[in-house]
Chains A and B, each alone.
Chain A
Amino acid sequence: MGPYHTMLVHFPIAFWVTATVIIFVRAVSSGKLALAFDRVLVPFLFLGTLTGIAAWFIGTLVWPADTLQTSPLGRNHMMAASWSLIYWTVLMLMRWTVGPAIWDSVLNRVIMLLLGGLGGVLLIITATIGGHLAGSATFLTEILRMIGWEVYATFYLPNWMLVVLVALIVLMPVLALFGRRSA
């Protein structure tokens, strides 16, 4: 299944990279081109999600689950791929449910710009680790190493940090519920 996964991942990568560009353009411009770009953002993200799900599923069949989850590179790739897929999917849902208001204020645009950038970074990390797994290491590994991620070591968090994440998962929507009632 390896070659099929390699072929399939090009599609979500293409859609999500394009989405990153669209978000960047729309965040800095309200011109005709930017507005036209924004109109296709949700469809692009939707196609990214569909092809992303296919690529993720085929990816899990490249090796038996136990093999993939025993390899640090395999674990990291699976984690980054899962996060990328979820991230871009919820970004699509955000844009879809919030509508054009998502670009209303400067702060909103800065937030979208950061979110688009983070999605792009996730995509790069996923592709870099996938390249390693396929036997095509790149210099990007060194950049990840410089920011503190050794791709040969499994990315996992200590228990106390997992508790912090649970707290954040609960706290953010609570803050949002309180905050949205005010101007």
Chain B
Amino acid sequence: MLKRTQAKLLVMGLFGGGLLLSLATHGSGVIANDPDRNIWIPDDLTMPLELQVAYNDEDILFRYRWPTDHPNLFIDMLRFDGERWVRHGGSPVGPEPDAMYEDRVTMLVDDGSIPEFQRYGGYITVGDGMRYFTEAASRAEIAEHPVLGPEGRADIRKHLPATRSDPDDWTTLVDPGELAAQREAGYFLDLWHWRAHRSNPLDVSDDQYIAQYRFGDSGRGPYFTNWDSDGGHPSLMFDAEQVGFHALRWEEVSRNNPDPESIYYLAEDFAVPFDPDHAWQEGDVIPRRALRQPAGSRGAIRVDGPARWNDGWWDVTLRRALDTGYPLEDKIMHHGGVYDIGVAVHRDATGARWHYVSMPYQVGLGRNADIAAHRFTGARPNWDEVPPFEMTLFYPGQVSWPRLNSETHAGADSIRAGVPVRFRHNEAQLAQYGVEIEFEAAIRRQWMLTLLLGVGLIISFALSASLLLRRREEEG
């Protein structure tokens, strides 16, 4: 027969045990990668980045340092399997299975023309229908759009809210005259885009901008696609007379650990037309992207000194003229100016939206700001004299600008009131929210069940304790 004292201890133990077990197991059982819904959650939700900024009378330099266990220098490779050329390293959901996806650092820049960017950073560029979101606009939908369809767009990329008459609807592109007026008024974001494979080997960076879509600046980009779709093979191959081989080897490429000083990329300077009659061997590899020196506005950003990974850290310095001469594609900078930036990093062989992003920060050129740019004379700054600004980057998940301004966001009123994101949120919080939004319905259901059963547990325990704590004689 169960003694009353034993029963009290048992009930207390069960209640306490239930609470402790709940604390230990909460938050599990829902979040799981689901490529079919474009969902993959990184192991680390935040990462650090150090930024130094310096400028002289002509140029401005941004030095980025960030940790990554392993540098990824390859992307988009064509491997000969004995019969045909097979692509490795297309844009994946989450990490590329063969790790064929290059590391990247990107930076959005504004000169104050877009006040929302100063307050909310890159969030304002994440509109409706974004690619790789669970509810991404489909190719068929885009093909039917009267403007984006004929332009040959296959997806919806970063764009600014006012480029749509209804920012909640990607299809409502404003008319071309209005878009041109916006550009003239500075309503675009400059995008510095360094890639470990598609630009870095030539010590250059891509230069792009964001308006109604993500565009490359005018001029010639640092890479082009090396594929002959009619022939089903690369257009170019390595010039063996210059580099000693016609192709890379899969054994080497798949190890993903190339010597950064070696020829692990294909560039115009040492490429020749592809020879289909060459005795190609199984495992021969030719990059699907070929490099060339960029020109015009698109070639305005250079790598200053070699950008290399060393001891677990990338160290990349980008250099650009303060005034590039392309005010409709670049944000022109001046001594005495304050500029808004947002930095992002792709690492661990991920592409598309699987990046880590920063809060918006301001860089001051001779003026007070979050980050004080160091003014120097001569060709290069002494970086030892420039204190690094340490920021935390975070995984943003599927949080869009329409959502942030909708009734589902408790802070929508604060956005309308102009309260900056940094005033109410920190990076760890935003990362956590970003993840939960990807599993919103499931988490909400599980939370409601937990709430209700928690209430049941409390009532059950109180009832049990009431039965056991009263005197026997009172029980009749």
A contacts, CB < 8 Å to B: 63-64, 66-72, 74-75, 78-79, 82-83, 86-87, 90-91, 93-94, 97-99, 101-102, 104, 107-108, 111, 114-115, 118, 133, 135, 147-150, 152-162, 164-166, 168-173, 175-183
Contact = CB atoms under 8 A, between A and B. Distances in A.
A72 B22 contact: no
8 contacts: A79-B451, A104-B471, A118-B19, A162-B453, A172-B15, A172-B463, A179-B467, A180-B7
B3 A165 contact: no
Interface in B5-60: 5-12, 14-16, 18-19, 21-30
A166 B460 CA distance: 10
Contact of B454 (A79, A104, A149): A79
Nearest to A133: B410
A83 B451 CA distance: 8
Given A79-B450, A79-B451, A82-B451, A155 B468 contact: no
A68 B2 contact: no
A168 B460 contact: yes
B462 interface: yes
Given A99-B470, A165-B22, A114 B407 contact: no
Contacts of A180: 4, 7, 467-468, 470, 472, 475
Contacts, number: 213
Given A70-B444, A101-B470, A114-B12, 4 more contacts: A111-B465, A161-B29, A165-B18, A183-B3
Interface string B437-451: 000100110111111
A161 B25 contact: yes
B263 interface: no
Contact of B8 (A67, A68, A111, A168): A111
B26 A147 contact: no
Given A108-B469, A179-B6, A152 B27 contact: no
Is chain B's interface secondary structure helix, strand, loop, or mixed overall?
A: helix
Contact of A93 (B25, B456, B466): B466
Contacts of A173: 460, 463-464, 467
Contacts of A157: 22, 25-26, 29, 446, 449-450, 453
Interface of B: 1-12, 14-16, 18-19, 21-30, 407-410, 424, 428-429, 432-433, 436, 440, 443-444, 446-451, 453-472, 474-475
Given A157-B29, A168-B18, A70 B408 contact: yes
Contacts of B28: 158
A108 B471 CA distance: 11
A172 B467 CA distance: 10
Contacts of A160: 29
A64 B413 CA distance: 13
Nearest to B442: A156
Contacts of A75: 444, 447
A182 B432 contact: no
Contacts of A149: 23, 26
A94 B15 CA distance: 16
Contacts of B432: 72, 150, 152-153
B2 A154 contact: no
A161 B407 CA distance: 32
A176 B470 contact: no
Given A64-B407, A157-B22, A180-B7, A94 B460 contact: no
A170 B454 CA distance: 13
A69 B455 CA distance: 17
Contacts of A164: 18, 21
Contacts of A165: 18, 22, 453-454, 456-457
A63 B465 CA distance: 37
B470 A91 contact: no
B433 A176 contact: no
